[in-house]
Structure formats: C-alpha cells, structure tokens
Structure 1
C-alpha cells in the first residue's frame, strides 16, 4: 500500500500524547501505556516527528529485561521469562544505567511536523526514518553512539524528536509500516556485512535467519552477490528461501555435518549459544566472523588455537559508520531490498507484540502502530 502524502496537510501539535513508558527493568508489566505524556519539543537542530509506525526489536526487549548486564548468562528468552535479575547499573547496552521512565522504540517512520532552531522549515511534511544509532549527541566520536529509544526517548509514542541530520527523507512507494521495518534490523545487518567486507562470490552463513536482522542480512548479502546459507527452524525454511537464501540448515542440527569444515567465508551471527563452536569450524582459513547478537546465550566456548591457526578475524558490530544508513536509504529508493512485515499491532498491545516476538513463530518484522 502506497503512503499517503501529508506534505500539504496542516498539523496541530497537541500538548499530550499516547506513549508506552518503560518504568524499570523487568517483565512486560514495566511497559505502561498512557495518553497523558507531554509531547516532546524539538530543540536546536532537531525535528519533531508524528510517528506512523515503530517496529519491535531484540534490543527493546534486551533493554527492558536488563539482558545487557554482565550478571546475565542466558539467552534473551530466558531473561524475559523471569531469569536472574541484573544490577541496573550496567543493564543497558552501553554499560551505563538507564534513566526511567523511558520511551523505547529504535525504529521510527513518520512525518516531520515541526522544526527546531537551525532546521529549515521546508523539511516539515517530509516522510522520514530515523537513524537508530545516533551520533549527534556524542559529537561524532568514533565508536560512540546513542540508541534511539535507549539513551534518549524513541518511537513507541505518537510523537518523537530526533536530530535533523540523522532523520532521513525517503522517496518510495512503501507503506509507513514497511518503512518502519528498516532502520534497526537493516542497519544492523548492513553493518555486519560492511565490517566483514562481504564480496561477490563469497559464501555467507547467517544465523537467526527468519528474524528481522537475519532476513535483512540474507537480502543484503545477496545484493552484494554472495551465496547465502541460512540457519532457521525447519518450519520456516520455505519463507527463508523466499527471502533469497540459497540453502537452509535446520536450527539445532549440526552445521558442520550439513556444510563441512572450512566451507564458509563469512559467518553473520545473531544467536551464539551452545552451537557457537560449529560456526567457527565451518569457517575457511582467513574467514571472518561478525556478530551483533546472542539471543541463545552470550557465553560461548572458544578454542583459541582455532582462532589463530586458521587466521580468523572476529568483528563485534554495534557502532555504524555514517555510510551504513545512507546506503540503506539509497537501496530502498532504488528498489534493491524489500520489507518483510509479518504482523502489526496497536501500540497499546506492545506486551502482546513482544511476547509474539519472543515466541519466534513469525518470519519478518512485527510493527506497532500508534493511535491516529
């Protein structure tokens, strides 16, 4: 469905809005839907966005449950089901304490409705997405950033503010829901491939391939001309092949038995967990391993001899160079990638959306829609 052009529509900005407040680390009871939250005001070099859609991501749940704390040893699902509770001092992804209440939501698609000082008012009316790893607030220092919806309020609301320079106009015929599926998942996937230097003709193995980042990594690796093997639940194999994967290895089955040792150039990992050593075994000499998630558990066993005797290179991928998001916008506008949305929910049903996300029953993105 094509987006509605609201460029010429006047917009009255209310004093209060509906939003979901995260009131502390814990279960979904910490997510409080309210309709009396003050609308943010765009500051210098910022814009105010009327949010049309905001997708669900692992980082939202990880932050809510405090999974980033070093006290947590299990996977995301274990933490979400009432596992050990972390110290709040290191429970955010940046390793510092999170301030509450916080409006989460790393993915934002919407329309600019107000421009702060220093921003050209002609930008009002633009349909935009926000770079989820914000660099403005840390003065563009290398390897530093804020996550939209973590270190500052995000998109689980009717309105959100963001730096104008990191808010990108997108010209395409996608719906708002489809555009909202892009920022976090696709920038993470592109960052993984960029850091690992994936080239045409290489064999890339993608874990967690039916999720938002995994399905994005398949598309983006194929865009680079790579051969892609995906790891996913057997019941999702047809969908993952439709995303563009050349082959699917059923999740839980031995990867070495399926592919053979030294058969893969690059591993793009979002899962880690107990099967992690198999990923290292299938890498060729000189292979590259890039990681941006550990949903099956962050503690793994590494034989360091394998690392150095095979001349492997490991990339931990959080920070993103500016080109990552700019490239994504160009891919969307040129029709080189496509959105994969599994289901939408009203914003007030965020707890249900996150529970469905954790169930891993859906292939693609789950997207929240704020009240009109």
Structure 2
C-alpha cells in the first residue's frame, strides 16, 4: 500500500489560487466504522466552489459567478461554510466520490473490500437529530484525491454498467434534486425547474419525469434541445418573463436553483396551494418577498439540505434499475481542477464535469 497520494488541498477561502495540487499527501487510515476508498472519479459541484470562495458567509450578497475565480473581499471566515461554522484548513474538497473500497476499519465486514461504491454527499449527524448533517468534502475531507475515507454506512455499493465518471456525476446533484422533490411531494403535476441545464437542474428534470410530472424547464436558448432530450416537456429561455410566458397560477411546484432577481415571479406562477423548494441561489441569495403572495395563495416554501435516510439508497436503486441516466459533459485530470472549475463557472456545458485522479499502482 502506498503511503502518499496526489490530491488537491484548499488552503483557505478565496480564488482559484487557494487550490493546491500536491503529490505528498499522507494516505489516510480507516478508523472504526470507516472504509478507505480509492477514488476513481470525482464530480464538480456548486457547493465546492461556494465553499472555496466563502459564498455561504452572510457578508456575501452577490451571485456565485461574481467571486467564482477570484473570491470575495467581504467574506467573514467565521460563517463561510454552508453549515455556518468555520472550516479547518487545509481541506480536501469534493462532494462526489465514486471509487473502490481498499481497506476497512474495525467493525466493518472485510468482505466489503473491492466493492464499487458511491459516497453519500449529505451525511446526517446521528448524535444531533434532526436536520443536523455535514457535507462530504466540507466538514470532512472528500474526493479530490486518490484516496478518501468515509463511514461505512455512507459508502453505498452500486451495481451497473456505467463508467466511474458517469457514476461520479450522481451523488451530490441527483440526491439534492431527489431530496427537493421528496420535500415538495412532487407527483404527476406541472413542475417548473430553474437552472435546468446544470447538474442539479438536469437531475431534477429526469427525476420529475420519473414521477410522472409535466416538466417546464428554464434554461438558455442554446441548450434547449439538450434539456428537451433529458425529458423536459417544454423549455423557457432563462431571460424570459415567467409570468408573461406561463401566466399567473399556472404551475403546481417550482424547483429552484437560481433565486436572484427572478424570484418573485416564481411565486406568481404558482397556483393556490402551490409548493416551492430550493437548494441553491446561483443568481444571487437576496430576494424580495411580498408576504401577501405567500399567505393569500396558501403557498408552502421548502428549504432543502438535510436528506432523509431513504433519499440516497433510493437514488442508487434508480441507477441500478435504469430509471435515470447520467448527464456527463466532460472529464479532466485532477491536477487541472482550476481549468475545470473555470469551465464550470462559464456554464457552457449541460450536466456535470468530472475530475479523474491519477491511477494508483496495484
């Protein structure tokens, strides 16, 4: 077993210069209840960039893209993680891990060695229920390295013919989307999805169709055909006025990853008794709410981070039964993480970008 590994460490909140590729990182050892995973592929997510730039700090009011490459001057390090508690550095990020179990700690069945697994991105803190959780690659080291550790219960075996890169496109984006749909009780109804060409948005399109919904996707005009191919029933340009395009009280559910200036119109297009769920705000976290719209229409608003225990196993079952498919756009060597994140921020792709660590000699 090798003693050191290649990986990317985040040295502090800030720009791309805070990502340091190293080849001398000690390979971790699994403790009780843990497994050591050889990472085969690691997806890129908004949460990786948001954590790097400190976007979760309440001192930041701009959209993600504004500080995506250079960071923000206004970050307060004491609340710059998604959990609101300071991060410890250096940190190996990476919320998406597909890999193979290479070793197990005490209390873990040795027969698990060799399993191909997906690591659950949002992990509940059993000692602090409910709604207490951590994100893999934020409050603990994650997938941007040749090896990573995970609690055995959060390393889910998966059996399918997908490539490692395709599987690595799933954990964070698809579990986030599935959780939003579960929280909002989405069924066979009219659903509006913003940011539909991104990782979570494209996942939500597929997962809504799986539930029998009629999907209205919001995306750039240049990506409309690809979003339709994912299963959307119609696509609205992201610069269009939602009320003019759809009409007031025309949809049952809004699944939102964007927020920003368009947010009030999302409540206008909801029917009476409609539901709104969000797990992101890439167009900006500050939004204006007319409280009269909320209570006079009997709307329900759902924030969505913590995931119930069944969400990730359900996702794995959808993969194994062929009910969803990956939306993999491109792969990059791990050492090119800065270029990959720049491409991610440019938003010219559909679905997910995935990093591939160097192969490990057997």
Give the shorter-chain TM-score range. Answer: over 0.9
- The question of 1:245 aligning with 2:232 is answered yes
Q: Which residue of 2 aligns with 1:194?
A: 182
Output aligned runs, 1:190-339, within 5 Å. Answer: 190-200=178-188, 202-339=189-326
Output aligned runs, 1:40-189, within 5 Å. Answer: 40-82=28-70, 83-135=72-124, 137-139=125-127, 141-189=129-177
Q: Residue 140 of structure 1: CA displacement?
A: 5.9
Provide the TM-score with structure 1 as the length reference: 0.95
Q: Residue 85 of structure 1: CA displacement?
A: 3.0
Q: Residue 225 of structure 1: CA displacement?
A: 0.2
- The question of 1:28 aligning with 2:28 is answered no
User: How far does the alpha carbon of each residue in 1:126-156 deviate from its partner, in whole angstroms, 9 at most, with x for none?
Assistant: 0000000112x54362101110000000000
Provide the TM-score with structure 2 as the length reference: 0.98
Question: Unpaired runs of 5+ in structure 2?
Answer: none
CA–CA separation in structure 1 for the residues paired with 2:127 and 2:213: 35
CA–CA separation in structure 2 for the residues paired with 1:184 and 1:85: 27
Secondary structure at the counterpart of residue 177 of structure 1: helix
Question: Unpaired runs of 5+ in structure 1?
Answer: 1-12
CA–CA separation in structure 2 for the residues paired with 1:296 and 1:311: 26
User: How far does the alpha carbon of each residue in 1:322-361 deviate from its partner, in whole angstroms, 9 at most, with x for none?
Assistant: 1100100100010000001000000000000000000000
Secondary structure at the counterpart of residue 73 of structure 1: coil
User: How far does the alpha carbon of each residue in 1:277-321 deviate from its partner, in whole angstroms, 9 at most, with x for none?
Assistant: 111100000000000000000000110000000000000000000
Cα pair distance change 1:246/1:330, threshold 3 Å: same
CA contact (8 A) 1:221 1:228 kept: yes
Q: Which residue of 2 aligns with 1:7?
A: none
CA contact (8 A) 2:121 2:135 kept: yes
CA–CA separation in structure 1 for the residues paired with 2:162 and 2:128: 31
Q: Which residue of 2 aligns with 1:340?
A: 327
CA–CA separation in structure 2 for the residues paired with 1:166 and 1:260: 43
CA–CA separation in structure 2 for the residues paired with 1:149 and 1:23: 13
CA–CA separation in structure 1 for the residues paired with 2:65 and 2:31: 38
Secondary structure at the counterpart of residue 156 of structure 2: strand
CA contact (8 A) 1:27 1:65 kept: yes
CA–CA separation in structure 2 for the residues paired with 1:41 and 1:227: 48
Cα pair distance change 1:165/1:141, threshold 3 Å: same
Q: What stretches of structure 1 move > 4 A for 4+ residues in a row?
A: none
Q: Which residue of 2 aligns with 1:18?
A: 6
CA–CA separation in structure 1 for the residues paired with 2:151 and 2:69: 35
CA–CA separation in structure 1 for the residues paired with 2:68 and 2:326: 27
Secondary structure at the counterpart of residue 183 of structure 2: helix
CA–CA separation in structure 2 for the residues paired with 1:160 and 1:81: 26
CA–CA separation in structure 2 for the residues paired with 1:216 and 1:25: 28
Secondary structure at the counterpart of residue 279 of structure 1: helix
User: How far does the alpha carbon of each residue in 1:182-234 deviate from its partner, in whole angstroms, 9 at most, with x for none?
Assistant: 1000000000000000012x000000000000000000000000000000001
Secondary structure at the counterpart of residue 229 of structure 1: strand
CA–CA separation in structure 1 for the residues paired with 2:137 and 2:282: 20
CA contact (8 A) 1:66 1:85 kept: no
